[in-house]
Structure 1
Amino acid sequence: MTEDFEVPSPHEKQLEHATEHAQARGDSFASKIAVMTAIMATIGAMLSYQAGSTESEAAMDKNNAAIKKTEASNEWNYYQAKSSRQNLSELAIHIPGLDAAHYTAEAQRYKTEKEEVRKKAEVLEAEAREWDEKSELVLHQHHRWAQAMTAIQIAISLAAITLLTRKEWLKRVAYSAAGLSVVLGSLAWLHL
């Protein structure tokens, strides 16, 4: 039989202890900090989810760009092969004893096929650039979410210290950090 054990950190024990005693004494300062910390933790969870989600999306977009670049590279290699065959056919036109009309037609065929391959390669390169640009935009958004997450973590830590020290100015700093987190999260949400 296995049992799950949760080992709280000393910080969590102290925070829990201070909160319980504050509630028993009717301490509104500690109660307000506890409620605010819970709200900040909830916001932090949402920010963390968004940061992870956008990071995955940016990676997928970058992967799609790499696939398109590979496809474009393959087309350019095919283009080069068609160019080489065209050049050989054009060379064969000038060799005495060979059917010049046949090689003229072959050179023209390779020239036409080569143009189709070039157009396809250019389209694939454009698609790769679009995926790269999309990846960069989403990665910027991810950075905003991560910044917001960092700010809310700082706010939670400051709130815990505030609960222990009971410093009003520290509470304002914690709330300011939480506000900064909300601003950064809003910027991420608005794709700014």
Structure 2
Amino acid sequence: MTHDPALEAHEGAEHAEHAAHERDPFISRVSITVAVLAVMAATVGSLETIEAGGAITASSEAVLSQDKATDLWNEYQADSLKKHLYGLFADAGGPKAVKYGDTAKEQVGKQAEIKDKALEDEKERDKLLSESRAHEHRHHWLTAGATLLEIGIAICTVAIITRRKTFWLGSLALGVVGLALSVLAYLA
């Protein structure tokens, strides 16, 4: 069974419309409750999808930042080897000793730049991982909220069939808790 908040909202509205034709005030109230819960479930479901996408995107970008940092650290290590080799050639003397010494010194400056860039990429990675965790945290709360709202819609249907007020009140309670969890997603 696929999870489509828009389809569920439409089905909930259809149930409400059919029930409203009976002209019973209780059924009308429950039907309105179904419609309201369906809209809230669709909204929370959409927010849930947005947060899941945000978590995936931030996580993917963090991987890219880590890859860039890894490439830079590899370059740093290669330049370190070059620096040591040029230093050895300079220490060995010969006609190019001065040139080798200068090249070894250039490698030191180049390494500092590479190190700074690698550290920046690692900071970006950490920021993106934190962002991904925040999106994932909100996604979990929104999933719980949407589930409770959808269960509330189902219980409203039971209230319509049985004409029992306790089921309707239960669905209202589930709706309130579902909405509260959805709000907590952005406050917690």
Return the TM-score normalized by structure 2.
0.85
Helix, strand or coil: the match of 1:22?
Answer: coil
Q: Which residue of 2 aligns with 1:186?
A: 183
- What is the Cα deviation at residue 117 of structure 1? 0.5
- What is the Cα deviation at residue 45 of structure 1? 1.1
Helix, strand or coil: the match of 2:68?
Answer: helix
- What is the Cα deviation at residue 121 of structure 1? 0.5
- What is the Cα deviation at residue 109 of structure 1? 1.0
Q: Alpha carbons of 1:36 and 1:120: their partners in 2 closer, same or farther (altered >3 Å)?
A: same
The answer to whether the 8 A contact 1:92-1:98 is kept is no
Equivalents in 2 of 1:181, 1:91: separation in Å?
70
Match of 2:80 among 79, 83, 100: 83
Equivalents in 2 of 1:191, 1:72: separation in Å?
33
The answer to whether the 8 A contact 1:18-1:164 is kept is no
Q: Which residue of 2 aligns with 1:118?
A: 115
Q: What stretches of structure 1 of length at least 5 have no aligned partner?
A: 1-10
Equivalents in 2 of 1:22, 1:116: separation in Å?
76
Q: What stretches of structure 2 of length at least 5 have no aligned partner?
A: 1-10
The answer to whether the 8 A contact 1:40-1:156 is kept is yes
Percent of pairs identical after alignment? 22
Q: Which residue of 1 aligns with 2:101?
A: 104
For residues 8-157 of structure 1, what are the structure 2 equivalents within 5 Å? Answer: 19=19, 22-23=22-23, 27-95=24-92, 97=94, 99-157=96-154
Query: Aligned pairs, how many?
Result: 177
Larger-gyration structure (1/2): 1
* RMSD over aligned Cα atoms: 2.2
1:27-58 deviations in Å (ceiling 9; x for gaps): 22211111100110011111111111111122
- What is the Cα deviation at residue 21 of structure 1? 6.3
1:96-155 deviations in Å (ceiling 9; x for gaps): 546322222111111111111101100111011111111111221122221111110010
Equivalents in 2 of 1:18, 1:49: separation in Å?
26
The answer to whether the 8 A contact 2:20-2:31 is kept is no
